[in-house]
Amino acid sequence: MAEGRVSLVVADDHPLYREGVVRTLAGETGFEVVGIGASADEAVALVAEHMPDIVLLDISMPGGGLTAASRIAGAYPTVKIVMLTVSERDEDVHAALKAGATGYMLKGVGGGELVQVVRDVAQGASHVSPALAARLLKEAGAGRSAAVPADRLSELTDREREILLLVADGKSNKEVARALDLQEKTVKHYMTNILKKLQVRNRVEAAVLARESMRM
């Protein structure tokens, strides 16, 4: 991989869509597509061969994208996983996060949003399409029994709590930035700190815990 470039593997069994994703990413400064596959087995093999920074997986490809995600997360934990799918099913989102994905995007997104999410994930952020995240939060609150220990919550600054409350309402980083008159990149840095302090993997888990523990 070239110095300073984000290396990517793309696995999807729909040639036209896959080619569009590859073309979009390869045309961006700082990205390098190092492998292209069409199945779970191919995705795992490409990750093993190239050790990319990020792998983009379709859920419904042969062998199953969720299976590929679990195998990759288990064997190559430093590789970040983003699911690209048409599925809006809650169980698929939950399964993807449980399998180790740090991103879940619907295939209807435009090229600009795809590029931005991949950049965010490369920088350590997580992403679930805002509409899906908001719906999950409404359904997940009563399902969890464990609240965040008080000592973890106490580590959050007033600004971090303010941001977390907005995220728990399903707002994106851009919407949070607009609401608090901050730069979007500043919100991303705050979210990285919040996830570390709460010891959760992504913004969805953080928001669910916040809704319960802060009794929003």
Q: Does domain 6-128 have CATH number 2.160.10.10?
A: no
Distance CA 194, CA 131 (A): 21
Q: How many CB atoms neighbour CB 23 within 10 A?
A: 11
Domain(s) of CATH 3.40.50.2300: residues in the chain: 6-128, 136-213
Report the relative pairing of strands 31-37 and 54-58 from DSSP bridges: unpaired
Please say whether the beta carbons of 203 and 167 come within 8 A.
yes
Distance CA 88, CA 144 (A): 21
179 pLDDT band (50/70/90 cuts)?
very high
- Segment among 12-16, 59-63, 76-80, 101-105 with least mean pLDDT: 101-105
Distance CA 206, CA 175 (A): 17
Q: Does domain 136-213 have CATH number 3.40.50.970?
A: no
pTM: 0.68
